[in-house]
Structures are given as structure tokens and as C-alpha cells.
């Protein structure tokens, strides 16, 4: 009887240890994957949202806010896991120069006393290029006469 209880105790201890290791691994791996997914998705969505007509005309980068948000959410939704809940917050979107601040909160699958562990990742992305002053674009923008109809000429 004594040896049977010892074996049962060892098996029970092993099961508890595997459970704790699984929870910790889920937390750390999830945090790392969320961060890299957030960073790569934001960079790709910013590249998608570049206003090509404005770039051809002036040589300066500008992004479209609505196009960025749409592209980011579509790309992010395609790559996340289904066993977690995500909360995406856009805190700063500048069109010129292109800068975006995004906060993503996610709940892990593990919960203790009905409360799940929340992972929070924040990233600031700036799309850079060689900026220069284009007098034509500056004057036309200030006058309110900037027209994209002659971009391809």
C-alpha cells in the first residue's frame, strides 16, 4: 500500500507539473507570437496603404487611414489563433509622415479562478523614405489645388 501511494503521488505531481509548464509556455509563446504578428502585419498594412498617386506626384510618402485599418484588420484576422480573444486599438495614425501606434490585448486560454491572463503588446511603426521639399506640392497643397489627374503624364 505504501509503494502504491508513492507511485500515485509521483504520477499526480507529474500531471500537475505538465499542466503548469503548459500554461507558462502558452503565455510566453503567445506573447512572442502576438508581438511579431503585430509588427509584421502593421508594416505590411502600411505598405498597402501608401498613396501611390501622391508619391508619384511629390516623392513623399503618405498613407490612407481607412485603407490601413482595413488592411491591418484583414491581415491580422487571417493569422491569429481561434482559441483567444483579441482587442485591437489604434491610438495614433498619421498620414504624413506615416506613423501608426497600435495596441493589441489578448486573453490566454488558461484561466485561474475564472479570470484569464491578459497579454498586451504595443507597437509604433514609422514608414520612412528620403524626404525632400517639393516646392510645387507645397504650394499646390496650401492653395487647395492639388489635383491627381496629371500624375501619369
Paired residues of 100 in beta bridges: 93, 125
pLDDT of residue 21: 80
Domain boundaries, the chain: 2-143
Query: Can you spell out the DSSP letters for the chain?
Result: -HHHHHHHHHHHHHHHHHHHHHHHHHHHHHHHHHHHHHHHHHHHHHHHTB-HHHHHHHS---B-HHHHHHHHHHHHHHHS-TTS-EEEEEEEEETTTTEEEEEEEEEEEEEETTEEEEEEEEEEEE--------HHHHHHHHHT----TTTT-
d(CA 48, CA 76): 14
Low-confidence ranges of the chain (pLDDT < 50): 152-153
Residues with Cβ within 8 Å of 118's Cβ and at least 6 positions away in sequence, in order, are 105, 106, 107, 108
d(CA 39, CA 102): 9
pLDDT of residue 128: 79
Please state, as a whole number, how many other Cβ atoms lie within 10 Å of the Cβ of residue 57.
19
pLDDT of residue 137: 62
pLDDT digits (tens, 9 = 90+) for 67-80: 999 999 999 989 88
d(CA 49, CA 71): 8
pLDDT of residue 100: 93
pLDDT of residue 139: 64
The phi, psi pair for 118, rounded to 5°, reads -105, 130
Amino acid at each position: 500500500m505504501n509503494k502504491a501511494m508513492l507511485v500515485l503521488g509521483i504520477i499526480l505531481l507529474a500531471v500537475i507539473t505538465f499542466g503548469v509548464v503548459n500554461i507558462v509556455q502558452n503565455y510566453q509563446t503567445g506573447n512572442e507570437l502576438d508581438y511579431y504578428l503585430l509588427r509584421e502585419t502593421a508594416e505590411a498594412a502600411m505598405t498597402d496603404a501608401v498613396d501611390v498617386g501622391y508619391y508619384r506626384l511629390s516623392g513623399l510618402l503618405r498613407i490612407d487611414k481607412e485603407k490601413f485599418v482595413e488592411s491591418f484588420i484583414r491581415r491580422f484576422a487571417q493569422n491569429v489563433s481561434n482559441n483567444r480573444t483579441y482587442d485591437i486599438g489604434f491610438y495614433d495614425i498619421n498620414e504624413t509622415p506615416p506613423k501608426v501606434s497600435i495596441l493589441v490585448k489578448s486573453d490566454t486560454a488558461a484561466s485561474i479562478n475564472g479570470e484569464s491572463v491578459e497579454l498586451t503588446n504595443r507597437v509604433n511603426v514609422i514608414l520612412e523614405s528620403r524626404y525632400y521639399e517639393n516646392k510645387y506640392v507645397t504650394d499646390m497643397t496650401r492653395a487647395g489645388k492639388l489635383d491627381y489627374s496629371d500624375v501619369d503624364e
